[in-house]
Amino acid sequence: MKFILLTLIALGMLSGCATAPPQVVMTAPAVVQRPYLRDIVPASSLSCLREPSHDKVLTVRQAAVFIVNLKKAGADCRQKLGIVRDMIQREE
């Protein structure tokens, strides 16, 4: 009888110590959606002024106009490239 009583007490004590296994909750890492650069860059920044034609430069005046237009086209492209470069650097 003592054996049964001790067994019941021991079982009662063991069942009191038993706990449910801890639940492991897996969470997915946060997804950071970044816009594509093509969605950010204005279309006007993706094309430059055309390089002037230099087929038949006959006079000094025509040569001067050609050089001015060439510099203007280069400045236009450098400005637009600067806009795109700034956008990329802000994203980093």
Q: How many domains does one find in the chain?
A: 1
| pLDDT of 68 | 93
- The string of pLDDT tens digits covering residues 20-42 is 777 888 788 887 777 776 677 77
Residue 5 has pLDDT above 70, yes or no: no
**Is residue 80, in this structure, part of any structural domain at all?**
yes
pTM (2 d.p.): 0.49
Q: What residues make up the domain containing 72?
A: 47-92
**Is residue 84, in this structure, part of any structural domain at all?**
yes
**Is residue 24, in this structure, part of any structural domain at all?**
no
DSSP 18-82: --PPPPP---PPPP-----HHHHS-GGGG--PPPPP-S---SHHHHHHHHHHHHHHHHHHHHHHH
**Is residue 9, in this structure, part of any structural domain at all?**
no
